[in-house]
Amino acid sequence: MYTRYTILLLTALLLAGGLTSQDSLPKSPDQLYAELFADVQMARIFPDSKTFADCIPKKDPAEILKSYRAAKNNPALRFSLALFVEENFSQPANRAPAYNSNPNQSITEHIQGLWKLLRRDSDSAVKGSSLLALPHSYIVPGGRFREIYYWDSYFTLLGLKESREFEIMENMIDNFAYLINKYGHIPNGNRTYYLSRSQPPFFTQMVELLASVKGDQVILQYLPAMEKEYQYWMEGAAQAKKGQPVKRVVILPDESILNRYWDELATPRPESYREDIETANKSSRNKTRVYQQLRAGAASGWDFSSRWLADGKTLATIETADIIPVDLNSLLVGVENSLARAYKIAKQDSMAMQFETAAEKRQTAIEKYCWSKELKFYTDYNFRKAALTKQITPAGLFPFVFFSHKQGYLSLLARQAAMVVQEKLLQPGGLQTSVQTTGEQWDAPNGWAPLQWMAVKGLARSGQIGLAKEIAQRWTRLNEKVYKENGKLMEKYNVVDLTLPAGGGEYAAQDGFGWTNGVYLALIAWLKQPV
């Protein structure tokens, strides 16, 4: 467990940081437009629910809502909802056609050009728009994703580093520091409807990446933001009781403190409004509970996966907020170690020691609650059921990226995990996302760039170089194959049948694509390094 001093320290930091309350945040489109928003989404005015959430109002939102209520309730008018939306809103721009390649370009040259197409300048705030204006330029993923996404951006930054795009790397990290300072955390993306949740905490890893280019003084520059984000994840740790989670914090029976994914709201997500209502209607549970769990699933970045499903196959059984994810907590070990390193650089040894201790305690807790002796693999832990979920996914390789080595113990576990990877996850195109085929996009047969990178990094770090290289080679060859066939880099890939595209989820496969570009360049560079 954490020492009482550590918890008091975190509490003091929290009080000093003054995290932003949900009530003080800008309103999301469903809050601004009330029944108008619901009516548009349920009437399927746009095939993709995210489109209306991103629309830009042509006049004051309050005026639009007032006009809607007056027109809808006037029996003398032949009211057209579609026409009303067209007259009062501008649709968000879609630059997807520009992602097509020149057949004479190599995949690397194509990516270099994509950085320019995916680049967005600093924003100007527009009243009633869901976009949260950012002060610096940034890279978006592509397709329907017209804004930054938190964990996507780390993997995009890997490629920007290889492309020597150092200025925009720093701009993006400055944007994230700005969001932390303004809102108390990094939201899922820079949209008002994402403010109620975050995503996997890669900010300290971004800072470390920039420090590898510019030197350790960068870490001191961003230390206040790094610390404040940690406060967000640990909020409530001092008050939480065993078995009664508070926000993102869970206290286990032995008083270990681990974390879960959580969203502050319990309503349908504006960007997936109709879909969430349909999912809740299929469930026998309280709808508010379903919305809460769907939102927690979105906070994980794995939206959606059999990892989070009680029956392993049906979205209506989702229980993300009841689960301690092994990858999230491994990432937080990384956050704690980064903070310890930062305080050492700042010559604040007592603070460094506190975070070193926190990382050690968290690692011990993960080993206790998330290592399956039966499966010989790390998996998630359902704290409500007091049981491992026994879902084999690449998330189980995150500990090998961040854990400290204990007299060869981690290498021993890595050898066992590598056998599981080869038997269960390794496919012709890289690692599949799970062993379940559910129709959800974060399941088989799909593979995702960030999971390939983390698996390669963790396995290589733990001595499994051969397997790490095999994953990297299979994944990059698949990227190259698809690029040669259609001139695109995709959000996700079918790694099982290389003749078929990836699918599943709430929207069509997107191209662009930020994190695929970044991981491809990083893996190609890694494969060229001497062993």
Over the range 82-91, which residues count as b (16 or more CB within 10 Å of their CB) and which as e?
eebbeebbee
Rounded CA-CA distance 272/52 in Å is 10
Q: Which residues pair with 377 in a beta bridge?
A: 372
Q: Is 123 a catalytic residue?
A: no
Task: For residue 361, give the nearest of 389, 414, 403, 325 by alpha carbon.
Answer: 403
Retrieve residue 247's tokens: 């926000």
Q: From the candidates 54, 327, 491, 511, which is the catalytic residue?
A: 491
CB 140 within 8 A of CB 120: yes
Q: Is 491 a catalytic residue?
A: yes
CB 41 within 8 A of CB 274: yes
DSSP strand pairing (323-324 vs 381-382) = antiparallel
Q: What is the pLDDT of residue 407?
A: 63
| Helix, strand, coil % over all residues of the chain, rounded to 5 | 55, 10, 35
Q: Please tell me whether residue 106 adopts helix, strand or coil conformation.
A: coil
Is 304 within a domain? no
Q: What is the pLDDT of residue 183?
A: 97
CB 20 within 8 A of CB 250: no
Rounded CA-CA distance 337/238 in Å is 21
| Tens digits of residue pLDDT in 137-154 | 999 999 899 999 999 999
Percent of the chain with pLDDT over 70: 94
Is 460 within a domain? yes
Is 414 within a domain? yes
Number of domains in the chain: 2
Is 512 within a domain? yes
Rounded CA-CA distance 361/5 in Å is 13
Is 333 within a domain? no
| Tens digits of residue pLDDT in 277-299 | 999 999 999 999 999 999 999 99
Rounded CA-CA distance 176/379 in Å is 30
Q: DSSP assignment, residue 164?
A: T
Beta strands in 212-361, from DSSP E residues, in sequence order: 249-251, 257-259, 323-324
Taking the chain (531 residues) in consecutive chunks of 10 residues, what is each chunk's mean pLDDT? Answer: 47 52 85 98 96 97 97 85 97 69 87 94 94 98 94 98 98 98 98 98 98 97 98 93 92 96 98 98 96 98 98 97 98 98 97 97 97 98 97 98 86 96 98 98 98 98 97 98 93 96 81 94 95 67
Is 281 within a domain? no
Rounded CA-CA distance 4/471 in Å is 43
Residue that finishes a domain, picked among 42, 67, 90: 90
Residue that finishes a domain, picked among 75, 90, 105: 90
Rounded CA-CA distance 14/485 in Å is 52
Retrieve residue 50's tokens: 């995210």
pTM for the full predicted model: 0.94
Is 517 within a domain? yes
Domain hosting 40: range is 29-90
Rounded CA-CA distance 22/304 in Å is 25
Retrieve residue 492's tokens: 């996700």
Residue that finishes a domain, picked among 74, 90, 106: 90
Rounded CA-CA distance 79/40 in Å is 13
Q: From the candidates 54, 235, 303, 336, which is the catalytic residue?
A: 303
> Which residues are within 8 A (CB) of 71 and not within 5 positions of it... i.e. 6 or more apart?
77, 79, 84
Is 324 within a domain? no
Q: What is the pLDDT of residue 24?
A: 78
